[in-house]
Chains A and B, each alone.
Chain A
Amino acid sequence: MNTTKAVLALENGLIFTGYAFGDTSVECSGELVFNTAMSGYQEVLTDPSYKGQVVTFTYPHIGNYGVNPHDVESAAIQAEGIVVHEYSKTYSNWRATGSLSDYLKDAGKIGIEGIDTRQLVRVLRSEGAMRCIITTSTESHDELLNRVRTLPSMNGLDLCPLVTTKEKHTYHYNEGHENLLGITANPTFKIAALDFGIKNNILRRLVNVGCDVTVYPATTSYTEILESEPDGIFLSNGPGDPAAVTYAIETTKHLIDSSIPMFGICLGHQILALAFGANTYKLKFGHRGANHPVKNLLTEKIEITSQNHGFAVDIDSLPEFLEPTHINLNDNTLSGFRHKEKPVFCVQYHPEAAPGPHDSDYLFNDFVKNIIAAKALQKEQLA
């Protein structure tokens, strides 16, 4: 039995007590959010978009199938900490190589269990995402709450520097990975991916549709990218407030002018919107889960999507030359748009899934189709 008591303190003054797991010698702080997916905790924890956040899982048993070396979305655990109802002391799965608790411990991350996570979610739902600390320290509640209230707010926070690649590099999918997706295609399209905290599965999906992906640091200049003469440009997901990533917005404005096909996911979608002159705003408690219905306005079809965002693009602020393509049916927020003339499109959610359904995987093909069309057009123009 786990006996290290821990507390979760919220900026609204609520204090939950439970037991620590993972690295019980550390504490963590960040914006407290919740994810409603019933599976995929390893992918969530390693998703760089969770940088700066403490994740509450609504599913009450977490850790059931352990962890393995493959279901990772980046090289490290990115979330600051994790809150669960019950941590599963045992795991069972043919691919498992270790327990979640050891995995957290090795990464120096703390989790708290024994929490009425449903109550917590209802608090976050009505009061919005808020700052928190998980700690095993025994300081007074007042001291603890004071510390919570002095934490930085997510608004205006640029977290990309913490998660973007240090060096430009080419992504090799098979390196050190089991080829679970059976990828055989020879890469034929040169993609420049701006890394704001890119998830591995985006890279895997791009490779799978025939892309040769070069990953660039978030601060890379547009000239460097354009000099590499990419066939397509990808803007990745990432953590924090999109409006604070001013350098990337500037870079994107220039990239748009190039008329090279572009595709953005999540933060990439928000940065494109900002570069086009639209606005973003913070959602009360965000969308995090694997069951969000999105309507594709072009096909009228519904996609069950994987989502993870705390900010959204204001649909009313879209300039006239942009066309909404996807709508979140839960709250009618904007889930995707495209440029009416240029081969530029983006979505707020995660077609690469991991975790989540694969319904929107077609978007990677759409990107490639745009590239092929652009290349054909180029050839025509040259001729």
Chain B
Amino acid sequence: MPKRTDINTILVIGSGPIVIGQACEFDYSGTQACKVLKSEGYRVVLINSNPATIMTDPVIADATYVEPLSLPYVEQVIAKEKPDAILPTMGGQTALNIAMDLHEAGVLEKYNVELIGSKVESIKMAEDRELFLEAIKRCGLEMPKGEFITDYETGLKAVEQIGFPAIIRPSFTLGGTGGGIAYNMEDYAEMLRAGLVASPINRVLVEESVLGWKEYELEVMRDTKDNVVIVCSIENFDPMGVHTGDSITVAPAQTLTDREYQNMRDAALKIIRAIGVETGGSNIQFAMNPKNGRMTVIEMNPRVSRSSALASKATGFPIAKMAAKLAIGYTLDEILNDITKKTPACFEPTIDYVVVKIPRWDFEKFREVEDSLTVQMKSVGEVMSFGRTFKEGIQKALRSLEQNRHGFGFDKPMYFDGTQPSAADLDHLRTRLRKRTSLSIFDVCDALRYGMSTQEIYDVTGYDPWFLEQLREIVQEAISFMNDVEGTQGELFLQNIDSERILRMKRMGFSDVQLAMMTGTTLLQIRNYRKQHNIIPVYKTVDTCAAEFESETPYHYSTYGNENESIRTDKKKVIILGSGPNRIGQGIEFDYCCVQAVYAARAAGWEAIMINCNPETVSTDYDTTNKLYFEPLTFEDVMNVIDLEQPDGVVVTFGGQTPLKLAQDLVASGVTLLGTSVDGIDLAEDRKRFGELLDSLKIPVPQWGTTMSEDEAVEIAGRIGYPVLVRPSYVLGGRAMEICYREESLRTYVRKALQNFPDRPILIDHFLENAFEFDVDCVADGTDVAIVGVMQHIEEAGIHSGDSSCVLPPYNINNEQYSTIMEYSRRMARALNVIGLMNIQFAMQYGKIYVIEVNPRASRTVPFVAKATGVPLVEIAQRVMMGEKLSDLNVKDFNISASRVAIKEPVFPFTKFPRVNIFLGPEMRSTGEVMGMDVSFGDAIIKAHISSGNSLPKEGSVFISLSPHDKTQRAIDIAHGYEELGFTVYATKGTAQFLNEHGVKATVVLKHYEGRPSIIDNIKNGEVQILINTPLGENARYDEFVMGQTAMRYKIPFFTTLAAASASLEGIKALRSGKISVTSLQEYYAMGY
């Protein structure tokens, strides 16, 4: 069937902010979908609250709404844009939920708009476990035994039938939020209660455990003619019991015979037909008993998913793109295979390599969270790698993670100290092996090198023996290699070894770093040795067909084989280095920057080559670049590509810290970087040099010092005055950053930091209390400087800029202060000879402007600034870096008296980590961001709040507890404000007294430890609608902690700073006015700035 002509306008729903369980894979799918629909001639309307996405770039859709993904706002967009159809399958669970809300509220009917891609009935059947179970039974298939529970008492009884361990799955939650595995009644009761609360419909599924079973996923596509194909099979390295998002996964399935695989395929076909997914992609999960092959269905997602993004990248079959085409009526036989461009898309990709995905966790950001992997997803990102074997693939994936590991072990001194484990060590190891953690893979490495049998490891871990044996081969190879090395180390060893041996090691995926460690040489010695002996990787092509047909698409991965397929062109070329796995502090914003840079380079006629290893991203879409190398972002892997491609320049300033870390080594190897010089980058990073520079520029900075000793740290702090802000140099996202108020805590910090980051000096800054913070993003070309965005944070300095809400333009600054900021920015850009982007953070204390930090590279705020102002600053930066001049590009400075306000608000993973301290500090912990934009501050903040999931009440009661610090006029004004809006004010004793003294009628409530009923009871009873609690000093006290947890559970807005409380007051005022307006970016830009 050709495409539908009865629809003209299609609304695509995005997935909102990046949260655990829903990351930039939906930017990838949504961007693909919008591009397809647009190129097919449809008018595309997009709504997504996340400004860091590529899909919200104004050229991707015809009308782009960066507005809250909530019913009233989406309805407004529908009323205004009058779409004929909505595509809800590209924006994850968020978009599906919105689609269901629209249906249930009668909006679809009212505006006569149809869902395409997935129908209401199918979504219901796939999402509602009860209906799903019935459908599975109708297919003659099995699911694990289970029961739906809607009340606590019944739930307690139900488990008697099911037995322990029992799985608790709350209905309709993202990434398994609120789920768990209970091994005893006590845990079970607690999880049941939490699960019932977490579920929006207060229902949980209590299920038979299939822990330890093998887990598989199939990616399925269906068209309107009922053609069904399987795009990819995925086998999880981690057996059932670990959320698939937290599992190491491998494509294709490795240990299924064809008969078993075809049974699974048959089941998948039956299921997609039974659920009635008419068009598009779905993912279906299976568990298989390793002892007898019994197969049960686990779940299905009737939409594109994280796994479908992975499958697309793993096979070269772009599921989202195809799904969008199917949604508008094409059938699979009418679409060409995107890679071969000759054969049709109605086939099943076959691959001739092994793909390994490993999640990336950031447990160190959440000290209270146990590093324990269960059915609730905790990872914040992932890497993928290609190898011609599993061994090569997993080693490449491990070094892609950027967690200071360079492969499967043998990459740290501990592997070479020759000590034999004691019996106690082995016992300890066995205990560790029993638990699934982010480091389990390295525990397996230890178990193997200590000679534990595969059977024993299998018994405690459930990792399939096939995988364990592959890993054993790696360990055995390393050990035998080291035995060869023994006696001769270093250069001498390299002279004696047979180069075939090194080649074999490389074929097994060993990195140059591992080889250097094993041989007592350096990374560069190994690299030179390899080049001398012609041990260089070849690049194979990801072509969907195992080379059966020719493919024109340059999508490559490295391996050590015979034949290289990546042919260098003689075009002018630039390599843009991506940002690797998402992590807190470095996420989609940097992918946005990389992709924009690629577009700009291509538009200028350069060949744009991308290197990245993150399967979720748009940058690793082979459609984005001229040439894609899916490779780890290590010096070795990047240099190998550079050796082959000989680019005219390499760009390291868009991908965050990942490529920046490589800059010096690349330059030392003779690579030309585009943009700001390495010296300029170093000048900004090196505190000493930077301090001297600012002195000479007469720009004030907070007093500071750097040290590598504890005593000196104390001496410095004494000199510059407490409180001090301390952190290791060269880290991103405020990693390990703290504010110390006393010598004691400073000493503790320094000791720990020197241990964790041994080579990095510690920076000690005087911390500016009660200061406003500003972010500036600008572009410079060596002569001119264009200041594109100036933002003021809502939270005061001291809270990581990534965790603060920020407002563009600044809301509390006078002309003189503003001019100072602009002037300082220009001065620094020139002094650092910046070519490209630069971000500066300023603090303003008592009216005086200080520079806190300068980064001559793309910052986290770049996409926000671009979306808010309409200035494509990455494009401008890339063009400048390629040699154009700002004066020719017509870039204007930021205009502070703009007619609109944009607010960026962070989104935190606290609901996933219920025991975490929710008070903000200098270490960044947010996973994503949203933007609220409107004509007034109040309207903008309400949008930002709704988008970030902090809906504000229109009326009710407010609870206030102020730290002694915050008992200020500002606090009184805020309390007054709430009073005027008709809110009842509750407060703790001290705060109530203070407020009463200043004319606010506040009623005293008890703190948690003061007795009952306490504020906790008030929250639980629904007697409080807003909490304002500014924490005391260094650590939030216990009762504040409990209050935070309770607020989180009961979804009550909780403000920990006066600034945020004041902002929310404006929001409530706007909310009470009752008007909702939505405006597209294109409309805003047409109005000018």
Contact = CB atoms under 8 A, between A and B. Distances in A.
Interface residues of B, number: 56
Contact of A65 (B257, B266, B292): B257
Interface of A: 16, 34, 36-40, 42-43, 58-61, 64-65, 68, 70-71, 85-86, 88-95, 116-119, 121-122, 125, 180, 289-293, 295, 300-302, 304, 329-330, 353-358
B431 interface: no
B387 to A, nearest CB: 9
A70 B259 CA distance: 10
Interface stretch (B51-59, B463-471, B659-667): B463-471
B561 A119 contact: yes
Interface in B22-37: none
Contacts of A301: 225-227
A88 B258 contact: no
A94 B258 contact: no
Contact of B346 (A38, A118, A293): A293
Contacts of A357: 262, 265, 348
Given A61-B354, A121-B547, 5 more contacts: A60-B352, A60-B353, A125-B548, A291-B348, A330-B347
Contacts of A60: 352-354, 388-389
A302 B350 contact: no
B466 A291 contact: no
A88 B565 CA distance: 26
A46 to B, nearest CB: 12
Interface string B215-227: 0000000000111
Nearest to A303: B227
Contacts of A290: 258, 348, 350
A127 to B, nearest CB: 13
**Interface on chain B toward A: helix, strand, loop, or mixed SS?**
loop
B258 A354 contact: yes
B261 A329 contact: no
Given A119-B562, A291-B347, A39 B352 contact: no
Contacts of B353: 60
Contact of A94 (B292, B470, B565): B292
A64 B563 contact: no
Nearest to B261: A39
Contacts of B333: 293, 295, 302, 329
B229 interface: yes
A181 B48 CA distance: 49
B1057 interface: no
Interface in B534-569: 540, 545-550, 561-563, 565
Nearest to A41: B258
A330 B344 CA distance: 7
A14 B550 CA distance: 21
Contact of A61 (B254, B344, B565): B254
A119 B564 CA distance: 9
B883 interface: no
Contact of A329 (B225, B257, B343): B343
A352 to B, nearest CB: 11
Interface in B239-268: 252-262, 265-266
Contact of B258 (A40, A85, A117, A295): A40
Given A118-B547, A121-B547, A64 B258 contact: no
B290 interface: yes
B352 A329 contact: no
Contacts of A68: 257
Nearest to B342: A330
B609 to A, nearest CB: 22
Q: Which of A90, A125, A300, A356 counts the most B-chain CB atoms under 10 A from its CB?
A: A90
Contacts of A36: 350, 352, 545-546, 548
B255 A358 contact: no
Nearest to A38: B252
Contacts of A125: 547-550
A254 to B, nearest CB: 37
B291 interface: yes
B346 A92 contact: no
B820 to A, nearest CB: 61
A264 B545 CA distance: 28
A358 B261 CA distance: 11
B390 interface: yes
Interface string B344-360: 10111111111000000
Contacts of B562: 16, 116, 119
A37 B470 CA distance: 22
B262 to A, nearest CB: 6
A36 B348 CA distance: 11
A94 B225 contact: no
Contact of A90 (B262, B265, B469, B549): B469
Given A68-B257, A116-B563, A92 B464 contact: yes
Nearest to B353: A60
B546 A59 contact: yes
A285 B935 CA distance: 66
Query: What are the 10 A-B residue pairs with the smallest beta carbon separation, nearest first?
Result: A40-B258, A355-B258, A58-B546, A90-B469, A119-B563, A92-B466, A116-B562, A291-B348, A39-B258, A116-B561
B776 to A, nearest CB: 50
A358 B388 CA distance: 29
A379 B717 CA distance: 106
Q: Which of B333, B344, B349, B547 counts the most A-chain CB atoms under 10 A from its CB?
A: B547
B267 to A, nearest CB: 11
Contact of A122 (B226, B227, B230, B547): B547
Contacts of A292: 347
Nearest to A42: B257
A293 B225 CA distance: 15
B293 A291 contact: no
B265 A64 contact: no
A82 to B, nearest CB: 15
B258 A356 contact: yes
A83 B354 CA distance: 18
Given A38-B350, A60-B353, A302-B333, A43 B258 contact: yes
14 contacts: A16-B562, A58-B548, A65-B256, A71-B259, A85-B388, A86-B389, A90-B470, A92-B465, A92-B469, A94-B293, A118-B561, A118-B563, A121-B548, A125-B549
Given A39-B261, A121-B547, A292-B347, A302 B332 contact: yes
B271 to A, nearest CB: 15
B256 to A, nearest CB: 6
A118 B262 contact: no
B560 to A, nearest CB: 10
A89 B350 contact: no
A65 B293 CA distance: 13
A206 B349 CA distance: 29
A61 B563 contact: no
A88 B466 contact: yes
B473 interface: yes
B257 A37 contact: no
A31 B257 CA distance: 26
Contact of B352 (A59, A70, A293, A300): A59
B777 to A, nearest CB: 45
Contacts of B259: 70-71, 180, 354
A300 B225 CA distance: 8
A290 B233 CA distance: 14
A306 B256 CA distance: 17
Contacts of B343: 293, 329-330
B258 A293 contact: no
A302 B346 contact: yes
B606 to A, nearest CB: 29
A90 B548 contact: no
Contacts of A64: 254-255, 466
Contacts of A118: 352, 388, 540, 546-547, 561, 563
Interface string B903-917: 000000000000000
Contacts of B346: 293, 302, 304, 329
A358 B466 contact: no
Given A329-B343, A330-B343, A94 B290 contact: yes
